Chains A and B, each alone.
Chain A
């Protein structure tokens, strides 16, 4: 490859070719030994020739070097026209490298070498001037060392030789000496008039083959013609002078004997072309001088070269031979650099010593640019001029580049310019990648005094439309040079620009080569050439890839990816995965990285870098390149990567195109047996995974086994809804968040929400659930996600064992790609917090542009940003995953039928009815546990009111009583079996009670299979699971009877009617009612009357019965009456007074639930509290005594009538309660016998005006001793007289059961009715303790 070294004009090119059958590795080894000689000192070159060949020979004592370069191939044949214009471009010498072998003789090796040389060198070419064949003797294979006669151009280098290097050096020097000698011969030909004529014939003349030249020219031994002009002498003189070490004083412009007359004709060299017959006519020597300069430069004789170049420029300037003039200037530039190097290694004081050189090169460039190609053969001339122009421009750029990269004008710069070595564009200052920072590049600029933009500016001159003129290989060489220079300058975008052209070049060759290959004529033997060789080979023999050798593809793709990276596209955003690497254990390895969900999320807030239009263009080109390689996998990778990274800026059409391309390419790749796949690319499609809740009838509920054991607390859970002794339970929220329960061997539905951020319908080949823990059987499904919207998919699976099932996330596979797992951790609080922090950090940075240009490419920037840097230091959090508990298989029950129609029941208030449910076990497991619980519309408000705790103690009790003792539904569990075998049926009977306000209810049936056969050694599980069935019931309760106005009146026995007779008559009449009459006729005190109003608000009459069942002594009494619709009836029932014991009353009002009472809120005094308690307990007692029932008049429906709405008042209490003190009053005559007075109808029939004795017996009935006083009242008091005081009669302390009789003498003074009352009061509290009444009728006896 052309390296475009600065001093390429001074390089003697020697081609190394393999000779004979030599292993490539052996060849490389020996070749590298030869390549080690990049210069040969002039003093080492043997200069023994005497004739014209001696002309360019170095002086015996000359200092200086001959610079060698070893290109890998000769210039293409199209360049042959430059053979005189630029001899340094050609391989002047050829060395064949052979190895001794047992099969080949040396001569055959030599023959082979010669033959291959004939292939390489186009016929009729001037070069190579010298050739040799080095046969390296390998270790121990010295068999065929017979040096035949025909082996003159062959040297054998024995392996045993001690100083092989020195020997090779000598051999090379010999070769160079030969070459330099040939220079002399060539020049002597050119010096001849005919030769000169040829030289001036065209713009880029060629010398015809030496055989076609006149005879005498061919004879090198002949002395040159003593021609019309004096050049040989002059040159000889020069030679002599220089050999003598004389400094040649500058002669005038016509110095070397130029004929100025020629000028006019030479001005039009094109016309000269037509008069080839006129060869022999002398021409201007300008070009000859330039050729001389070239040869002297090559021979290492810099001073002579300078002289001749200067002469040439002078004469060529006059001739306006722009190209040649420019070339001479280039030579001059080279010589001045060489001179500067030779003289003290360039230690110059001047500030910019390269300015002069640069000027010359700039001149040369301009001249090439302006040179006017001849019309006749413009095609080729265009090519040459373009080539020369580019070379010159690059030469100038490389001058600056060398100085810049070598930190200034110094030895390093010279070395770079003169002996660039293998990597000419990677100077040692930049070779270390760590040094390749902007800072370091900047430092180079400052130390060298050359800014990077200057170098780039000069380099840009080489770029232009003229590149089209160049041949493919030359163009490639120029572009590669430019690209490498830009790369070293750190101008990545310019490099990318040029690299795109390089790619275009290579791909063009590739495509064209393939098209040529389609012609059947081409031999198939030429296969297997990699792309590299294609690019290097001469046009016409373009390499062919028939069996699609992928060699070299990787390099092209690397270029491609590099270019895209510079433009901000990461073509490797989607990685390639070998199918073989995807092992079943992949899930384990993936667990760590896929736990970080942010990694691959398609961040919407992602900043866009770069130039979208350019990026799209480059992507299209990249796909085109990869398609024509063809590498379909890479096509898919590119398409997928660009979709992944650039979908925010891609137009819909582009997205669709890329998607289609990637799919197509993947299909093709797989069809062709590609084992590599692309990883999943389409962002993060899975948004969430949720377990769809089981239908209610299938939902298992976990219960501890302990609840099957004895119920420890008798609390009814219905009161509070749930058993929780605390008003606030901090652990409650934790309990709620339990794992969801899933049943073994039953389908589990998972709802997966997916999102497609693209504008096309994304096809997912497989979507499956990724789980760990219990084996889970599920199928993957293929999904097509509609464009740009969320999509929900339900996946069904079956857990196969009991235990814990962890749902890690989803495994997603795009068509042709590898599956990829997306974990979906549950977001915990700290995680939410950290992600929020991260998000805000990103948002904070999103508009900052601290790093601009290439530093702001996403991957470059992310490493510097605080958000990503800080994230790295965050402790790795453990992610919680969605877990569910798989419980054993459960039986399944269903309601087969019920006795209700439409699930509705209609009741009167207080009516009872039954519902029968027929259940069927539809599973294969038996049911051995059955519980019913009920719910109705009245419980919830009541529970709520209870929970609020705002009710008074009394109301609380009422509500609780209602809930516990009057449930709407009840089940007699003990009567019915709890076992339902598999496939069997069972009937449950539920009693329904009509409660006003109840509108609906529900019957919950919880069932389970608890007592399972245990596996051997298995522990008794501490939990079991139930399932529930719910049967809703619509309840309608008619409210028809209302009780109100309850009252209790004191009853002192029936006052006799007006007459006893009448009474007796009544008695006879109402024999049927005698019982009641008897009741009413009770003489003794201690009865009260219970009365209540019953109103019928319904449209039908009802019979209402109130019955009172007191202690066994009394016969139960009842009152029944029919209440017509809309009317109110009063029911009266006698109730015997009773007294509750003190202990009974002292009990606080109970709460039926175990609710926690913190503080009693009442602010009542203890007295008031006592009163309240009394009211409460007496009421309770009363309701125990009195039962109320109703019955439909003429119907069968019956029920209870609730009295609990009724309140008890203090007077009612007084009436109901037996007094603690019993007062019995009687009248006796105050005679000695103390005969009692007759009693009639409850009245004492006492005589008037007779002294009587009123006895008041006071008995303490209470269990406590009492201190009492008595007041007596007698009315009308004016008609009787008595003895003693009436009020505050002290009774004294009465022990329980003790009695005291007071005697009060009195006398009725008139006829009539008298009432005598005694009221016993507590002595201290003056509260009533008891009273007695005596009625007396004073009649005429």
Chain B
């Protein structure tokens, strides 16, 4: 009896928490949708409608109901995937999002890999060389990462690496020449090109991807290296590290196997949270690089006051955010025996 309840209760609490958070997100987007100075009836039916049509559309949209009933209706619609129709593209918002989301996913994932690949070794080096140049390098990278506006870094990157040096391809995901070479099966260009065997297109896609991913990944690099450094310093002070050294293990083995093994759990949870912020951070990066992802979809809709699309996009990003928070929490529980049953 005891072990079961120990397993079930925390899981239940977690689920209730996630449900409440999602409910809160919907409440906020609902309220935002209500304070918009745009008349939703006119937005749906067009500017020149007769009073009769106006009333009918108003009833259809449920705007004559009391506010709490409107909210329940709204929750029901969102849960069944109905975010309304985008005015800009005249598609259902969910269809649009499904089309734009893979591009964002691709960008954020490569940026994340970039951050992990460089950030963790840098953080380890900083911890093992405290007060010397790797440590200073990580501090400077971190400080710059938190101080540089990502959209500006993107512009300067385009100026230097695309226009002046010609090392990378320009804005967009592919050159026009490669546009219809293969079918968008997954919507992730690198995967699609590889599956179609179009290696030249793959190479081109990579050239387009590397700069925005590096600009965006810079922030995950800054954060991950800082966190790795502080986790690592904490571990290197522990007695088991001394024991391992006394045993005669090589320093590399002590650091990379013993100490890193112990910080893997907090690092994974930090990485999951970083991933969430990368998805969000891609809004500005996508605008600069004309990257046809969710962020650009949201900002484009914003500028044309297309509220269904904006709020739909917000809900999807918010849901992914909440989901990643949950994943990070679950991973922590699953991987760290000390956190179980708490």
- A and B co-occur in one complex: no
Interface residues of B (CB under 8 A from A): none
